[in-house]
């Protein structure tokens, strides 16, 4: 087992103080958005005191680091762990399926767009299913709300700017109607889109019934941060959820979502493919987003797994990763690698190391067992089931 030093990402939506406090470091006045723990080529973690990166360590002896089965299935470490600290909303976004990612990546390569170009949408050939587990109260938008529930909320927003949206959903209160609406909204010209957005935000500021109050407040906040962005209207079509610490959401390919505020542990397939439709200062690619979005209405499924023998296991329907939250109180075994351990509270002994809040460690496949002891919370990120 070796300690990991993650990479900090300073995106403009990050919190100024949440991640520095989590890591026990002084704040710098700039936003700290994400801590990356993994072997992604654009931001690999450093291993131990040597400064060797995790991707280099794995490449030197893949079978020893990952195990032959994982190497045969994925070729490398198939997951990436992040600690995400949203001080402001992230972009309105979705992630591609593996097939869509391969197609988009090859298309942009053929067009000669450099991998690090800010206008690039597909940065690798992998899909990016992900799971977010809250460390603090965490607000998010996740998938399309049931259309009749959305209509009830839109009726509380008194403006003719929503007439076409309401009519489309009333005529087709299903995936077809929602798909029609978002394609109309996101393809509006800049001036027309700004006019709709500004009128809707102004109407949301007005007093109204309790129904939809949280959604209207959310729209006002988004409109103030991104004035004239019609994505604020699309946001009103999505499920607004609040996760308590320990609760989680899984987001598969095509799920239109947006993280609004809070801190959480995020695990995903090893990819950096994000397709944005608005409400961001980053590159927006509406056509790419609409090519992958699934407008099927869903009820956002909040996971609250029970503790069984000290561990809560989250439901992850993909092979690339698994996630367990381990409440250490005494001594507990956590199995084999390859895995990344992340301590989020307390102080926990792991092999020769003590993990306190913010500390992480790499467990290779050759380590047949790992025992944790002490008092604290540790997330165990590993590979999912390889059968099937």
pLDDT averaged over every residue in the chain: 95
Q: Is residue 167, in this structure, part of any structural domain at all?
A: yes
* Contacts of 21 by beta carbon, 8 Å cutoff, 6+ apart: 27
- Residue (of 1, 120, 127) closest to 74 by Cα position: 127
Question: Within this chain, do residues 213 and 265 fall inside the same structural domain, yes or no?
Answer: no
Which residues in 160-256 belong to E strands, given as ranges?
238-243, 248-251
Question: Within this chain, do residues 123 and 152 fall inside the same structural domain, yes or no?
Answer: no
Residues 246-270 have a mean pLDDT of 97
Of 193, 221, 236, which residue is a domain's last? 236
Question: Within this chain, do residues 78 and 189 fall inside the same structural domain, yes or no?
Answer: no
Give the DSSP letter string of 232-297.
HHHHTTEEEEEEPTT-EEEE-TT--EEEEEEEEEEEEES----EEEESSSS---HHHHHHH-----
Domain total of the chain: 3
CA distance 257 to 213: 20
* Residue 386 confidence (pLDDT): 66
Q: Is residue 268, in this structure, part of any structural domain at all?
A: yes
* Contacts of 62 by beta carbon, 8 Å cutoff, 6+ apart: 71, 76
Q: Is residue 314, in this structure, part of any structural domain at all?
A: no
CA distance 8 to 121: 21
Question: Within this chain, do residues 150 and 21 fall inside the same structural domain, yes or no?
Answer: no
241 forms beta bridges with 140
By residue count, the chain amounts to 388
Q: Is residue 299, in this structure, part of any structural domain at all?
A: no
Of 217, 236, 255, which residue is a domain's last? 236
Q: Is residue 376, in this structure, part of any structural domain at all?
A: yes
CA distance 188 to 384: 41
Q: Is residue 322, in this structure, part of any structural domain at all?
A: no
Whether residue 137 contacts residue 243, with contact meaning beta carbons closer than 8 Å, is answered with yes
Question: Within this chain, do residues 252 and 179 fall inside the same structural domain, yes or no?
Answer: no
Q: Is residue 301, in this structure, part of any structural domain at all?
A: no
Show which residues are catalytic: 276
Q: 115 or 388, which is more confident?
A: 115
Domain residue limits at 220: 146-236
386 forms beta bridges with none
What share of the chain has pLDDT > 70, as a percent?
Answer: 99
Query: Over 60: is that where the pLDDT of 100 sits?
Result: yes
Question: Within this chain, do residues 161 and 251 fall inside the same structural domain, yes or no?
Answer: no
CA distance 286 to 369: 47
The pLDDT tens digits of the residues spanning 130-173 come to 999 999 999 999 999 999 999 999 999 999 999 999 999 999 99
CA distance 367 to 326: 19
Residue 335: pLDDT band by 50, 70, 90 thresholds? confident
Torsion of CA 41, 42, 48, 49, to 10 degrees: 120
Question: Within this chain, do residues 29 and 153 fall inside the same structural domain, yes or no?
Answer: no
* Residue 388 confidence (pLDDT): 44
The pLDDT tens digits of the residues spanning 363-375 come to 999 986 789 999 9
Question: Within this chain, do residues 57 and 101 fall inside the same structural domain, yes or no?
Answer: yes
- 67-96: b (≥16 Cβ within 10 Å) or e: beebbeebebbbbbbbbbbbbbbbbbbbbb
Query: Could you identify the residue written with the tokens 């542990």?
Result: 265
* Residue 245 confidence (pLDDT): 98
Q: Is residue 321, in this structure, part of any structural domain at all?
A: no
The pLDDT tens digits of the residues spanning 184-209 come to 999 999 999 999 999 999 999 998 88
CA distance 53 to 51: 6
Residues 296-312 have a mean pLDDT of 96
Question: Within this chain, do residues 16 and 97 fall inside the same structural domain, yes or no?
Answer: yes
* Residue 337 confidence (pLDDT): 85
How many CB atoms within 10 Å of residue 24? 10
The pLDDT tens digits of the residues spanning 203-255 come to 999 988 888 899 999 999 999 999 999 999 999 999 999 999 999 999 999 99
Residues 301-329 have a mean pLDDT of 96
Question: Within this chain, do residues 113 and 219 fall inside the same structural domain, yes or no?
Answer: no
Question: Within this chain, do residues 277 and 254 fall inside the same structural domain, yes or no?
Answer: yes
100: its two tokens: 């869509």
Question: Within this chain, do residues 163 and 114 fall inside the same structural domain, yes or no?
Answer: no
What's 92's domain CATH number?
2.60.120.10
Task: Give how far Cα 157 sits from Cα of 71, 120, 205, 217, 307, Å.
Answer: 53, 36, 9, 11, 42
């Amino acid at each position: 087992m070796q300690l990991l030093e993650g990479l900090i990402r300073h995106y403009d939506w990050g919190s100024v103080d949440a991640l520095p406090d989590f890591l026990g470091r002084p704040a710098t006045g700039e936003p700290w958005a994400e801590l990356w723990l993994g072997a992604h080529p654009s931001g690999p973690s450093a291993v131990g005191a040597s400064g060797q990166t995790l991707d280099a360590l794995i490449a030197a002896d893949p079978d020893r680091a990952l195990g032959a089965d994982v190497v045969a299935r994925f070729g490398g470490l198939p997951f990436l762990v992040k600690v995400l600290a949203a001080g402001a909303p992230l972009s309105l976004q979705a992630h591609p399926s593996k097939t869509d990612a391969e197609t988009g990546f090859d298309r942009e390569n053929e067009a000669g767009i450099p991998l690090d170009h800010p206008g690039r949408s597909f940065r690798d050939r992998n899909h990016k299913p992900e799971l977010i587990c809250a460390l603090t109260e965490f607000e998010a938008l996740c998938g399309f709300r049931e259309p009749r529930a959305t209509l009830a909320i839109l009726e509380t927003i008194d403006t003719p700017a929503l007439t076409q949206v309401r009519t489309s959903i009333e005529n087709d209160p299903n995936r077809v109607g929602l798909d029609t609406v978002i394609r109309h909204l996101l393809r509006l010209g800049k001036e027309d889109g700004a006019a709709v957005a500004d009128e809707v935000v102004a109407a949301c500021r007005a007093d109204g019934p309790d129904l939809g109050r949280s959604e209207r407040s959310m729209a006002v906040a988004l409109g103030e941060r991104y004035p004239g962005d019609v994505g604020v209207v699309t946001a009103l079509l999505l499920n607004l959820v609040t996760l308590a610490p320990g609760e989680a959401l899984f987001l598969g390919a095509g799920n239109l979502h947006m993280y609004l505020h809070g801190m959480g542990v995020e695990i995903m397939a090893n990819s950096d493919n994000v397709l944005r439709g608005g409400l961001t200062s980053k590159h927006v690619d509406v056509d790419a987003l609409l090519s992958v979005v699934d407008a099927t209405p869903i009820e956002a499924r909040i996971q609250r797994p029970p503790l069984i023998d000290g561990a809560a296991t989250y439901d992850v329907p993909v092979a690339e990763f698994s996630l367990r939250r381990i409440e250490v109180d005494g001594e507990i075994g956590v199995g084999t690698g390859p895995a990344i351990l992340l301590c989020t509270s307390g102080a926990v002994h792991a092999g020769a190391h003590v993990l306190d809040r913010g500390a992480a460690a790499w467990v290779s496949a050759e380590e047949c067992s790992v025992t944790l002891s002490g008092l604290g919370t540790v997330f165990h990120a590993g590979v999912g089931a390889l059968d099937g």
